[in-house]
Amino acid sequence: METEKNPPGDDAQELEDSFIPIDEHEEFVSQDGKKISRKGIYLLPNLLTLGALFAGFYAIIAGMNGNFNAAGWAILIAAVLDGLDGRVARMTNTQSAFGAQFDSLADMVSFGVAPALIVFSWTLSSIGNAGWAASFIFMSCAALRLARFNVQLGTVDKRFFMGLQSPVAAGLVTFVVWVAYKYGIEPGVWLSGATAVLTAFVGLLMVSNYRYYSFKEIHFKGTVPYVVFLMAVVLLVVIAQRPHEVLLLMCVVYAISGPVISLYRKISARKRKTESDPAA
């Protein structure tokens, strides 16, 4: 169905007459089986995405100035806001193509560029080419992971993510620096080398084919057993006591869950094959 639009000349004239020549965002969506034109953007979910972008940018500034404690908190805030914007959009029915693209670009800054620069400023700059190479591997893998996620959206099992999510990968790399900075650990040659290996390895996990549970089946509108709510309270108390260490441990456990589950499935499949064919 064709949509009515103003003549191109009228739009150009309105743009020239405006004080600040910024074109209005317009996208076409399907509604009741019809293709309609929608102008403008939804405020709430995109405002949360903007907050995540700001937190990632602040993390970069803090890391370059050697304030790794503030950088760690900023990455954590960016991850929380990133988790909220999508859920808020779905709960309020304010999803849009603009929001999806904006979210990916914000993720690239907050969970790709920011962690790479933070860990480089902390120790990787001291080992020369190997340091910046590890940082670049992490950053480029974050970009590849986000691009793959965008093209596979709607075609993969929503219960799982293919590859380690960029917020968790960013948290794992950044929280190592966060914990070390808290305890005043000065990175030497061996620690710098180990950090470079960890940074590159976490980057490769993002583009791997390991499946990670997405937790998207958790519905906040529905009811849950009382014990689940009690466990959530206990978890919040534990995190509040030692946020640096607990958050790092949570990222480590989740990051290794993908390879562990994959190994378990391979062993189980081989065991079933052997039981079904004893001769093999």
Beta-carbon contacts of residue 148 (< 8 Å; ≥ 6 apart): 162, 163, 207
CA distances from 114 to 43, 77, 207 (A): 25, 13, 18
Spell out the domain ranges in the chain. Answer: 43-216
Within 10 Å of residue 243's Cβ, how many Cβ atoms?
16
The confidence score (pLDDT) of residue 245 equals 94
pLDDT given for residue 11 in this prediction: 54
Letter string b/e over residues 201-237, b meaning 16 or more CB atoms within 10 A of that residue's CB:
ebbebbbbebbbeeeeeeeeeeeeeeeeeeeeeeeee
Element (H, E) at 24: none
The two structure tokens encoding residue 66:
């050697």
CA angle 139, 145, 150 (to 5 degrees): 130
DSSP string, 228-253: HHHHHHHHHHHHHHSHHHHHHHHHHH
pLDDT in the model for residue 119: 97
Q: What is the pLDDT along the chain (280 residues), one digit of tens a residue?
A: 444 445 555 555 554 555 566 666 666 556 566 666 667 677 888 999 999 999 999 999 999 999 999 999 999 999 999 989 888 888 888 888 888 889 999 999 999 999 999 999 999 999 999 999 999 999 999 999 999 988 877 666 777 888 999 999 999 999 999 999 999 998 889 999 999 999 999 999 999 999 998 876 666 666 767 787 788 899 889 989 999 999 999 999 999 999 999 999 889 888 888 877 666 5
CA distance 191 to 69: 19
Return d(Cα 210, Cα 261) in angstroms, integer. Answer: 8
**DSSP alpha helix (H) spans, the chain:** 8-17, 43-64, 68-91, 97-108, 114-122, 129-152, 166-182, 189-206, 226-241, 243-276
Q: Is 69 exposed, middle or buried (CB count within 10 Å of its CB: 0-12, 13-18, 19+)? A: middle
Residue 45 has, within 13 A of its CA and on its CB side, a CA count of 22
| CATH T-level fold of 43-216 | Four Helix Bundle (Hemerythrin (Met), subunit A) (1.20.120)
